[in-house]
C-alpha cells in the first residue's frame, strides 16, 4: 500500500509533526510506502512528490512550516480536477491521500472524495475557526506567541503612561485575540464577531489610565468599528496605493491618542504568530491527528477527517470541516469583558 | 456578601490567575468583599486572612506560586474541623469559600460542605490525574517545561552518542511523561501505570543507537520495573540515610549503561516543572475556572467544583474530585509506543 | 547620607535591576537612605520621590520597565535648571543623585554636575550607540527578542517561498539589526550607517530564491536607500496625515515584490523589543552598573558614569557619554556581508 | 586550498554556528574546499570526513550540538600523533585545520602545530574558564538556561516557605554560578574558588526566611565546604557503588534542612545547560570566531586561536589557551556577596 500526504494553505506550527506521525506509523506499524506531495494540491496534479522515510521525518517534530511546501492551488480552478489527480495517483500507484489543510483544502478533499479519490483529512487552521473540532494545532502556538508579546508590552506601557494596541491574527474569528488577551491581562479585547464602539473603547482606556495602569488593547485584525467608519485591514492598499500595515490596530492607536490625549502606539504581530517551533500542546495534538489519520486510511474510512473532542481524537465527515465557521460566542466574550476597563 | 479564597497543596502555575479572576469578578461585577485566607486550610482555622482588591491582583496573572501561600494543613487532622471553621467564618462574616486545591484539599472541602460550610472547589493538580475534568491548569506548563528540556537534550545526546534519561513528575499517573515524551520525540516513555521491562527498554535504546540517533528515555518518577527490582524514588532515603535524587531515572541510566555499553546520563527536572509563569493555555483555563467558581457561589451551588469538558467549563459534584484517579489508559499509551525504539 | 536615583528616556530592560542594586548596596553595605525620584528629571524638579527599601526592590530584578517611571523632562528646557534641583535636593536632604539614562539624560547630568549637583551616571540605550562603553543593558534583550522573531519567520518564509522583511529598532545605529541579523541567519542586513542600493538588495533576494532558500531581510528602522528615494520612517505621518507603521520595512517589501515577482511581507517588531524581562546578560550588566555607581558616589567621584570595558566595569567622565555616537564600523558590517545573498 | 574543521570535547551551543561560518566564508569568499572531520581528533587520525557546502550548513545556525560529532580522542595517547595526522592530511590534500575545542583539544592543536600541522584554534568552554578570551560561546546559553530555572524556582520556594538549592555546572570555575546567581537573584552563591562555611550558608538562609523571602542557593558542582567534610561530586560513585546525582547540591539541601528546620530541596540542572539552541549572543560570538579563524588560515597565521577582547576578535597564541585557568577573582565574588542573606 502506498499513501501520499500533502499540506495546503497557510503555514501553521505542527504541520511537520503530522507528516512525521503519518510517516513513522505508516511505514512502521503499517508497513506502507509513504510519499509526500509537494506544494499542496499542486503535488498530486503534477506528480511532484518525494518518498518519506524515518530519516526524513526524524528531525522535523520541532520545526515550524512544512517540509512539503504549501500552495493555494485548487485542482478544480487550476485545471484537471479529480480526473487528473486520479490519473496521477494511478500512475504513481498511490492508493490514498492524507490532506492536511484548512477550509479550502478540506473542501477540495471532500469533493475529490465524492469523485473517487481516497482521501482522509486533517484539519489545520491557526485561527481555530473550524466547527468540527474543539481545537486545531497551531492555535495554541499563535496564542502563546501573542501572549509573550503582550507580557513584554505591559512594562513599556506602564513605564511610559502610554496605551498600546496589539493587533493579532483573526480575519473572521476572534479566538486568538480572546485567548491571548485573556492570558495577557488585556484591558480591552476586540473581535470581528462584535463590532466595537470607539467611544466605549476610549472610555475603558481612560478609566484604566485613571487607575494608574497602562491599557493594553488586543484587537483581531478583522475587528471593525460599529459606527461604520471605514478601516482598512492590514495588507490592503489605501487610496494612494500604499499597502497598510496595522489596519485596525493603527486606526485604534490614532483614535485613542486623539480621544484620551495620551500617547498611543500600535504593534502588529503579523507573521511571527504562525512560524517557528510548535508548543508542546500543538505537537501532541498534531501527532495524534497524524496517527489517527493513518488508522482512518487503514480502515478505508475515506471522506472523514480527524477531530478533537474533549481529550479524544474522533473521525467526522469531511463535510463538517466546511459546514460552519466557529466564531466566538457571546458567552465566551462575556467572560473576558469582566476584565475590561 | 463576603467570600474567601484559599489555595492548598503543592504549588502549580495558574493559582494566582484563579485568585485574580475570583477577586476581579467578585469585587467588580458582583460587588462582593473578597478575602484571601493564608496557607491553605490553616487560614480559615486561625482566621489568618487579608482583603483582596484590584491592586492586589492586577500584577499577579503571570506569576507562578500563590500570593496566599499554601500548606498541607488538614482541618480534621490538625484540629478544629468544620466546627472551628464555621466559627471563624461567622466571626469574620465570610459567607462562602472558594477552595483551590487537589484531591486532599477538595476532599476536605467536600466533607466541610456536608457539615455546613459553603464551599465551591477549583481543581488543581499538576499531574492531571483528576478524573472529573479534561485538564487542570499547571499541567500544560509542566509539559511545556519538560518538553523544552527534552528539546535541549537531543543535541547533547546526538553529539556524544549517549543515552539520556529524563525523569519527570508523576508518582501515580504518567500524563506529564506521556505528553512531554510525545512532544519531545522521546525514544521510550515509561509511566507508573505500566511496569516496564528493563530488557525491552535496553533493546529500544540499542536499536536507536544502531540507527544513529541518540536515545532519550522519558520516565515518570513513579514508573517501576516489572521484574520487581527495588528502585528508590526521588526524595526517598536509601539504606545509608542518603536522600536519593533521581530514583528511577538514575537507576535506568546505570542499567542502560551496563546493558548497552554506551554512556548514559540521568537528568531530573524536579521542581523547575512546577514554578514560574504559566503558559497562555493555563492562564486561560485558570482564569475561566475562577470566573465560573464565582458564578457557582452566586448561584449558591455549593459542594460543586469547576471542570473542563471539551471547551466548556461545567460544574460537577465535589465528590467526583476524589472519586477516581485518572491514569493513562492503554490506548493512549499505545499511541506513543509507535515512536519507541 | 541620602542618595536619590532616577530613570530618564525610553524604557529598557534592566532599569529595575540597576535600581535594585543601588538600593540593596546603598542601604545595606553603605547604610544610606535611598530614595527614588519619579519620572526622570521631573522628580528632582518637583520633589516627587519615594523611599526605596529591600521590600520595594526585592521582586523587581526580572521586571522590564522602571518602577520609578520615566519622562523626557529636561530641567533646562522645562524650567528651573540646576538651581531648582539644588533647592529640592537641599530641602529633601539628598546628597547625591544616580541618573540612569541615555544621551539626553546624561547630557543633563553632566551640565548639572558642572553647576554643583552631585551626580553619577549609568548609561542606558537599547540601541547600543554610546561610544564610552562596550555594551549597555537592554541591547542584549532587544537582540534576543528580534532573533527569536527571525527564527520563527524562517519557516514561514520557506514554506511559502516568500521574502520577509523584518524591521527592527535603530534610528541612527544599526547594532540591533547587525546582531539579530547575524544571529538569525539573515540573507541581507541593512543599517542606517550604510545607505543601500535597492537593486543590490533585490539581487541578493533573487539569488536566495534561486538557491531555494527563502530570504529574510533585516532592516534597521533608520536605514535608507542610497538613491535618495523618499522613505518615511515608522511613526512619521505621510502626506495624508496617516501615521506610518513599517516605514522602510514596508517600502522594502513592496519594492522587493515588484522587482522579484515574489510575495514579500513586512514585519515590524516595534515596542516588543524594549519591554519584558531582561536576559541574564542584561541583568548581570545592569546589576554591576548599579553596584559600581554606588561606589562612585561613595568615593565622591561625581561627573563620572559607569562603563563596560571587556569584562570590567570602569568609570569614565560623563562628557564621554555624549561625545560620540557609536555606529557600526565598516569592518563589522563586512563580517555580516559574508552571509548576504 | 582545502581546509578541514573539527570539534572536540564536551558539546556546547554555538559549535554549529562556527562550522557554518567557516564553511560559508571558506567556500564563498575564499573559494576553498571545506571538509568536516568527524568526532574530534578521531577524524584526522582515521580520515573520517565529509565535504561541507552551503546546503550542509545553511540550516544549522540555531542547532545545539555539533553536526560533526565529538570525542575525547587524543592523537598522542590514542595512537599516531602528529605523524599519523600529517599522513592523513597529505593523503586527503587537506592544507590546514580549524580545531574547535577546549583546553584539551587546543593543547593537542598547539603540540601538533609545533610538529608541523597547520592548525588554527577556536576556543570553546561552557565554563568560561579560558584566560585568553573575555568570553567563550556556550557560556551565555548556559547562564540563560540556569537563570530561567532559578526564575521558576523562586515562586515555588516562596509559596512553600522552602529553601531551594540549585546545582549548576562548574567543576573548577564558578562563572556559571556567579552569573546565573546574580541574574536570578540568588540568596547565596557558592563557587569552587571559595570553600564555603556551611554555618555561614545556613545563617544566610535563616535570615532570609526571617525576612519572609524564600532562599535560593546557587552552587557550582565543584564547590566544597571549607571544613573538610567529604562531599561527593555529581557523577561520582559512593562507597556502595551508586552514582551520585546532585553531589554538593543534595548535601547542602540535607544540611540546610537539618540546620534550619525548614524543608529544603535540591535541583540539579545537569545536561540541560549545554544543549539546545544557542542564545543570540552565543550565535554572534561563535559566528565571528568562525569568520576570523578563516582569516587566520588565509594569513597562514597557524598556532593561533581566536579570542574576544572587549568587542574585538583578536588572535592569540594557542599556548595561551592552556596557560591559565580563568577563575572567579575575589572582587567579582565580592560584587555578588552584596546580595547574600
Question: Can you tell me whether residue D85 is helix, strand or coil?
Answer: helix
What is the tens place of the pLDDT at every residue in B278-316?
A: 999 999 999 999 999 999 999 999 999 999 999 999 999
Element (H, E) at B96: strand B96-101
Q: Which residues pair with A325 in a beta bridge?
A: A130
Q: Note the residue count of chain D.
A: 341
Higher pLDDT, A117 or A238: A117
pLDDT confidence tier of residue B196, bands split at 50, 70 and 90: very high
- Closest C-alpha among D106, D151, D102 to residue D126: D102
Q: Can you tell me which residue has the cell 561613595?
A: C298
pLDDT, position C227: 81
| Distance from C-alpha of C55 to C-alpha of D213, rounded to nearest angstrom | 10
The answer to whether residue A244 scores a pLDDT higher than 80 is no
Please indicate if the annotation marks A162 as binding a ligand: yes
Q: Which residues of C make up each annotated binding site?
A: 10, 103, 125-127, 162, 169-171, 221, 265, 271-274
pLDDT, position D85: 95
CA atoms within 13 A on the CB side of A212: 6
Name, in order, each residue with C-beta under 8 angstroms of A210's C-beta and a sequence gap of 6 or more.
none
pLDDT confidence tier of residue D240, bands split at 50, 70 and 90: low
Q: Which residues in chain A have Cβ-Cβ distances shorter than 8 Å to B338?
A: 21, 24-25, 28-29, 291
Interface of C with A in 85-114 (CB under 8 A): none
| Distance from C-alpha of B331 to C-alpha of B341, rounded to nearest angstrom | 18
CB D135 within 8 A of CB D12: no
Catalytic residue among C127, C129, C140, C282: C127
pLDDT, position C280: 98
pLDDT confidence tier of residue B50, bands split at 50, 70 and 90: very high
| Distance from C-alpha of C283 to C-alpha of C91, rounded to nearest angstrom | 34
Residue D312 is among the residues annotated as catalytic for this protein: no
pLDDT confidence tier of residue C238, bands split at 50, 70 and 90: low
Q: Can you tell me which residue has the cell 540546620?
A: D259
Catalytic residue among B39, B127, B140, B282: B127
What C116-120 contacts at long range (C-beta under 8 Å, 24+ apart), as own/partner pairs, is C116/C82, C116/C86, C117/C82, C117/C85, C117/C86, C117/C89, C118/C297, C118/C300, C118/C302, C119/C302, C119/C303, C119/C318, C120/C96, C120/C293, C120/C296, C120/C297, C120/C301, C120/C302, C120/C304, C120/C305, C120/C306
CB A35 within 8 A of CB A26: no
pLDDT, position A199: 95
What is the tens place of the pLDDT at every residue in D115-147?
A: 999 999 999 999 999 989 999 999 999 999 999
What is the tens place of the pLDDT at every residue in C66-77?
A: 999 988 899 998
- Closest C-alpha among D269, D267, D257 to residue D205: D257
- Closest C-alpha among C190, C139, C69 to residue C326: C139
Give the N- to C-terminal CA distance of chain C in Å, as an integer.
59
pLDDT, position D90: 96
Alpha-carbon separation of residue A325 from A138, A222, A286, A310, B136 (angstroms): 17, 14, 21, 19, 28
Rg (CA), chain A: 22
What's the whole-model pTM score? 0.95
pLDDT confidence tier of residue A232, bands split at 50, 70 and 90: confident
Chain A residue with Cα closest to B338: A25
Chain D residue with Cα closest to B277: D152
Percent pLDDT > 90 in chain A is: 81
CB C117 within 8 A of CB C85: yes
| Distance from C-alpha of D224 to C-alpha of D171, rounded to nearest angstrom | 10
pLDDT, position A162: 87
Q: In Å, how far is C221's CA from the nearest CA of chain A? A: 14
- Closest C-alpha among B129, B241, B221 to residue B166: B221
How confident is the model over C104-119, as a mean pLDDT?
95
Q: Which residues pair with B264 in a beta bridge?
A: B163
pLDDT confidence tier of residue C158, bands split at 50, 70 and 90: confident
What is the tens place of the pLDDT at every residue in D70-125?
A: 888 999 987 788 999 999 999 999 999 999 999 999 999 999 999 999 999 999 99
The answer to whether residue B89 scores a pLDDT higher than 90 is yes
What is the tens place of the pLDDT at every residue in B107-141?
A: 999 999 999 999 999 999 999 999 899 999 999 99
The answer to whether residue C292 scores a pLDDT higher than 80 is yes
CB A256 within 8 A of CB A214: no
pLDDT, position B26: 98
Contact A268 C245 (CB under 8 A): yes
| Distance from C-alpha of A96 to C-alpha of A13, rounded to nearest angstrom | 24
Name, in order, each residue with C-beta under 8 angstroms of C302's C-beta and a sequence gap of 6 or more.
C96, C113, C118, C119, C120, C296
What is the tens place of the pLDDT at every residue in B152-166?
A: 998 877 777 789 999
DSSP of A108-150, one letter per residue?
HHHHHHHTT--EEEEE--TT--BTTSS--TTHHHHHHHHHHHH
| Distance from C-alpha of D242 to C-alpha of D232, rounded to nearest angstrom | 11
CB C193 within 8 A of CB C327: yes
How confident is the model over C321-328, as a mean pLDDT?
88
The answer to whether residue D68 scores a pLDDT higher than 80 is yes
Sheet with C163-168, edge to edge strand ranges? C188-190, C216-220, C163-168, C264-268
The answer to whether residue C290 scores a pLDDT higher than 90 is yes
D265 and chain B in contact, CB less than 8 A = yes
| Distance from C-alpha of B8 to C-alpha of B70, rounded to nearest angstrom | 5
Other beta carbons within 10 angstroms of residue B62's beta carbon come to: 20
Percent pLDDT > 90 in chain D is: 81
Please state, rounded to an integer, the average pLDDT across all residues of chain C.
93
The answer to whether residue C235 scores a pLDDT higher than 80 is no
Torsion of CA A164, A169, A175, A177, to 10 degrees: 0
pLDDT confidence tier of residue A278, bands split at 50, 70 and 90: very high
| Distance from C-alpha of C96 to C-alpha of C83, rounded to nearest angstrom | 15
Percent pLDDT > 70 in chain C is: 98
What is the tens place of the pLDDT at every residue in A109-131?
A: 999 999 999 999 999 999 999 98
How confident is the model over A189-216, as a mean pLDDT?
93
Q: Can you tell me which residue has the cell 554512556?
A: B263
Q: Can you tell me which residue has the cell 556567579?
A: D178
- Which residues of chain A form beta strands (DSSP E)? 2-7, 33-37, 49-51, 96-101, 119-123, 163-168, 188-190, 216-220, 264-268, 304-309, 312-317
Interface of D with B in 2-21 (CB under 8 A): 10-11, 13, 15
pLDDT, position A239: 62
What is the tens place of the pLDDT at every residue in C242-253?
A: 666 778 999 999
pLDDT, position D322: 79
pLDDT, position B44: 96
C250 and chain A in contact, CB less than 8 A = yes
CB A283 within 8 A of CB A14: yes
C62 and chain A in contact, CB less than 8 A = no
Q: In Å, how far is B268's CA from the nearest CA of chain D? A: 7
Q: Which grid cell sits at C26?
A: 546603598
A283 and chain C in contact, CB less than 8 A = no
Interface of D with B in 168-227 (CB under 8 A): none
pLDDT, position A245: 72
| Distance from C-alpha of D1 to C-alpha of B166, rounded to nearest angstrom | 45
The answer to whether residue A335 scores a pLDDT higher than 80 is yes
pLDDT confidence tier of residue D161, bands split at 50, 70 and 90: confident
The answer to whether residue B244 scores a pLDDT higher than 70 is no
Chain A residue with Cα closest to C64: A155
Contact A311 B135 (CB under 8 A): yes
The answer to whether residue D163 scores a pLDDT higher than 70 is yes
CB C215 within 8 A of CB C205: yes
Contact B183 A25 (CB under 8 A): no
Chain B residue with Cα closest to A282: B183
Contact D151 B276 (CB under 8 A): yes
pLDDT, position A240: 60
Chain B residue with Cα closest to A58: B185
Contact C24 D185 (CB under 8 A): no
pLDDT, position C242: 62
Contact C280 D140 (CB under 8 A): yes
pLDDT confidence tier of residue B85, bands split at 50, 70 and 90: very high
Q: In Å, how far is A160's CA from the nearest CA of chain C? A: 6
Catalytic residue among A55, A56, A104, A127: A127
Amino acid at each position: 500500500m502506498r499513501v501520499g500526504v500533502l499540506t495546503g494553505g497557510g503555514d501553521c506550527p505542527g504541520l511537520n509533526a503530522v507528516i512525521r506521525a503519518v510517516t513513522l506509523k505508516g511505514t512502521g506499524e503499517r508497513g506502507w510506502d509513504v510519499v509526500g506531495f509537494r506544494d499542496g494540491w499542486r503535488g498530486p496534479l503534477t506528480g511532484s512528490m518525494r518518498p518519506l522515510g524515518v530519516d526524513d521525518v526524524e528531525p522535523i517534530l520541532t520545526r515550524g512550516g512544512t517540509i512539503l511546501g504549501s500552495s493555494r492551488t485548487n485542482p478544480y480552478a487550476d485545471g484537471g480536477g479529480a480526473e487528473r489527480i486520479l490519473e496521477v495517483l494511478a500512475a504513481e500507484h498511490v492508493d490514498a491521500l492524507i490532506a492536511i489543510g484548512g477550509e479550502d483544502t478540506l473542501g477540495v478533499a471532500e469533493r475529490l472524495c465524492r469523485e473517487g479519490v481516497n482521501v482522509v483529512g486533517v484539519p489545520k487552521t491557526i485561527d481555530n475557526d473550524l466547527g468540527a473540532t474543539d481545537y486545531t494545532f497551531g492555535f495554541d502556538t499563535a496564542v502563546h506567541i501573542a501572549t509573550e508579546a503582550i507580557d513584554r508590552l505591559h512594562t513599556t506601557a506602564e513605564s511610559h503612561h502610554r496605551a498600546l494596541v496589539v493587533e493579532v491574527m483573526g480575519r473572521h474569528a476572534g479566538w486568538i485575540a480572546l485567548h491571548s488577551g485573556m492570558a495577557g491581562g488585556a484591558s480591552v479585547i476586540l473581535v470581528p464577531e462584535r463590532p466595537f464602539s470607539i467611544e466605549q473603547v476610549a472610555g475603558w482606556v481612560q478609566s484604566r489610565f485613571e487607575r494608574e495602569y497602562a491599557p493594553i488593547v488586543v484587537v483581531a485584525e478583522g475587528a471593525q468599528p460599529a459606527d461604520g467608519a471605514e478601516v482598512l485591514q492590514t495588507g490592503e492598499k489605501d487610496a494612494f496605493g500604499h499597502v497598510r500595515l496595522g489596519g485596525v490596530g493603527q486606526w485604534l492607536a490614532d483614535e485613542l491618542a486623539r480621544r484620551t490625549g495620551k500617547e498611543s502606539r500600535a504593534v502588529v504581530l503579523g507573521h511571527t504568530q504562525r512560524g517557528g517551533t510548535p508548543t508542546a500542546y500543538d505537537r501532541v495534538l498534531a501527532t495524534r491527528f497524524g496517527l489517527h489519520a493513518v488508522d482512518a486510511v487503514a480502515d478505508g474510512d475515506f471522506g472523514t477527517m480527524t477531530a478533537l473532542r474533549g481529550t479524544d481524537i474522533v473521525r467526522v465527515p469531511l463535510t463538517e470541516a466546511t459546514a460552519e465557521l466557529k466564531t466566538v460566542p457571546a458567552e465566551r466574550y462575556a467572560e473576558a469583558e469582566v476584565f475590561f476597563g
